Amino acid sequence: MRCPFCHSPDTQVIDSRSSEEGLAIRRRRKCPHCGKRFTTYERVELAMPTIVKKGGARVDYVRDKLRSSMTLALRKRPVSRERVDEAVGRIEQRLMALGEREVKSDRVGQMVLDELRDLDKVAYIRFASVYLNVERPEAFAELLKEVLEPAGGKTDGKS
């Protein structure tokens, strides 16, 4: 692996561990030339489905685009990069498990919402308010109510 700092052709692996629920290997590396350390990820490259946008355009699936949209919603929230990468890995697993060559973007968006709901409620609200195009205060209040209600949507009647 080439050093991203000094471009030396050889680096040393300091530590390796499984990440993203076993779907990738995280390696800490050190460059013997400049002494800098960095992290790499090794994962199987599988053919992901093409994403069909709302207007009908077809685009290639891009992992970094998915991660960046989730990271934007999680900005300044206490969620580690590793947990975000694990969530992205789960979304990719779900996409591959569909066994389809093309997947509509709204289906991917719903998968992101599902993961964000489990990761961080505030990030879920941020993403959902933009993704679902929430414009009215009443619709925003409904979104908040949905997140604040216990699982199953039932309340215990206490105030």
Q: Are residues 60 and 39 part of one domain?
A: no
How many structural domains does the chain have?
2
Q: Report yes or no on 73 lying in a domain.
A: yes
Structural domain of 103: 46-149
Q: In this structure, are 71 and 138 located in the same domain?
A: yes
Residues 28 and 76 in one domain: no
35-50: string of b/e by CB count within 10 Å (b at 16+)?
Answer: eeeeeeeeeeeeeebe
Is this prediction's pTM over 0.85? Answer: no
135 and 58 belong to one structural domain: yes
Is position 154 within any domain? no
Quote the pLDDT of residue 20: 64
- Within this chain, do residues 91 and 118 fall inside the same structural domain, yes or no? yes
102 and 25 share one domain: no
Identify the pLDDT of residue 158: 41
Q: Are 30 and 60 part of one and the same domain? A: no
Enumerate residues 6+ apart whose C-beta is below 8 A from 85: 19, 20, 24, 41, 67
Q: What is the pLDDT of residues 71-107, one digit of tens each?
A: 999 999 999 999 999 999 999 999 999 989 999 999 9
Instruction: Say whether both 51 and 33 belong to one domain.
Output: no
Q: Please report whether residue 158 resides in a domain.
A: no
What pLDDT was estimated at residue 154? 46
Give pLDDT, residue 149: 78
Q: What parts of the chain have a pLDDT lower than 70?
A: 20-21, 150-159
With respect to residue 159, please indicate whether it lies within any of the assigned structural domains: no
What was the pLDDT predicted at 145?
A: 87
pLDDT tens-digit readout, 149-158? 765 544 444 4
Q: Are residues 21 and 86 located together in one domain of the fold?
A: no
156 part of a folded domain? no
**What pLDDT shows up at residue 85?**
92
- Tell me, yes or no, whether 127 and 87 share the same domain: yes
Residues 6+ apart with CB under 8 A from 132: 139, 143
Residues 119 and 85 in one domain: yes
pLDDT of residue 150: 64
Both 36 and 72 in one domain: the answer is no
